[in-house]
Amino acid sequence: MQSISTIGLDIAKSVFQVHGVDTAGQAVLRRQLKRRHVLAFFQKLSPCLVGIEACASSHHWSRELQEPSVRGTLRQVQQKRSQRC
């Protein structure tokens, strides 16, 4: 697998989406992970930046991913009014 520098993690109730890019910004990883496999997946990766949408459960996952191999960040995602329900 190519070197992953940044991962975007879309968290949900049971299935998470993972999108990884290299230093050139090319997508090298797209995967769905069940909740129980998330920590094991990140433990196998080399150190990288992880972006998680800021919401209630993102703080939990940010703490879970605070290990030497992962640098977690919370980013506020801007939404257009037309996309809100």
Q: Tell me the per-residue pLDDT of 35-82, one tens digit each, with 9 for 90 and over.
A: 999 988 988 888 788 888 777 788 788 878 876 556 656 555 554 444
For the chain, the domain total comes to 1
Amino acid at 16: F
Q: Give the closest residue to 31 by CA, choosing from 43, 16, 42.
A: 16
**Cβ contacts of 42 within 8 Å, gap of 6 or more:** 50, 65, 67, 69, 70
Residue 44 lies in domain: 6-83
pTM of the model: 0.72
Q: Which CATH number fits the domain that encloses residue 26?
A: 3.30.420.40
Neighbours of 24 (CB within 10 A): 8
Q: What is the pLDDT of residues 19-41, one digit of tens each?
A: 999 999 899 999 999 999 998 89
